Chains A and B, each alone.
Chain A
Amino acid sequence: MNLMDIFEITREPIDKLGLEQRLLTGAAGAIVTFDGVVRDNTKGRRVVSLQYEAYEPMAVKEMRRIGAEIREQWPDVERVGFIHRFGPLKISESSVVIVITSPHRRVAFEACRYAIDRLKQTVPIWKKEIFEDGEEWVEGQAPEVSQ
């Protein structure tokens, strides 16, 4: 793990440009940023807002673990940054921003894709969709560790 990597959970709006700037070094030739934003519909139903809940200390630990996995698989990665927001979020607000920098683009694309896919499997965060006429927790996929 690199001490300059960033793993944060916050109630505040995510400063995406700020995160990119904090991670940018002279050795980087590419920054790939994944920005997950709140969508206004799900399966044809109108979504008004989302409510995110996090097991904060464990979520940070699990993001850190993904950062370590990335550095093992793609040693050329220069910097890794994750910020996940929780609390109430409006349509089009960012719920998660992941930034990967590397000397060349291919590694940053691959590592960023891996980062968001893993986050959705292991990081203890849950979201509830608030509809005009009710609300529902989003069911995640059960990983094999449970059995």
Chain B
Amino acid sequence: MSGNAIKINVLLFGACREVAGISEFCFALTAPADVASAWGELKTRFPNLEKFERSALFAVNEEHARKDQPLQDGDTLAVFPPVSGG
């Protein structure tokens, strides 16, 4: 599947949403893709996200995910700062 395009749904929350100025969108990545390559593409589109380079957290299909997690066509990737609920 190398070289094929896959579609990823992206959700941004909290301060990440605010600096990017968008909460939800769709984009294409070249396979094989993982969270790290999607994050790289996001920072290119929204350079202000660079300030979250060290702190950003990720979830794939509503499960916490690491940067090396592979992404498949149709996956939903959420990007957010460390949680501060409670």
The docked-state distance in angstroms from the alpha carbon of A119 to that of B83 is 9
Q: Is the CB of A96 within 8 A of B82?
A: no
Q: Which residues of A in the span 12-44 have a Cβ within 8 Å of any Cβ on B?
A: 36
Q: Known contacts A142-B55, A145-B64; decide if A137 and B85 are in contact (CB<8 Å).
A: no
**Which candidate, B1-9, B11-19, B25-33, B42-50, is the interface stretch facing chain A?**
B11-19
Query: Does A52 interact with chain B (Cβ within 8 Å)?
Result: yes
Residue B57 interfacial (CB < 8 Å): yes
Known contacts A124-B13, A142-B57, A119 near B82 by CB under 8 Å? no
The reply to whether B85 and A123 form a contact with Cβ atoms under 8 Å apart is yes
Decide if A96 touches B85 in the complex (CB within 8 Å): yes
* Interface residues of B, Cβ cutoff 8 Å to A: 11, 13-15, 17-18, 54-59, 62-64, 66-67, 78, 80-86
Give A residues with C-beta under 8 Å from B: 36, 52-55, 57-59, 61, 84, 95-96, 116, 119-128, 137-143, 145-147
Q: In whole Å, how far is B39's beta carbon from the nearest beta carbon of chain A?
A: 11
Which of chain B's residues has its CB closest to A124's CB? Answer: B83
The answer to whether A140 touches B84, judged by C-beta atoms less than 8 angstroms apart, is yes
With A55-B11, A124-B13 as contacts: A139 and B85 at CB distance below 8 Å: no
User: Cβ of B55 and Cβ of A125 under 8 Å apart?
Assistant: no
Nearest chain B residue, comparing its CB with the CB of A123: B85
CB pair B86 A119 closer than 8 Å: yes
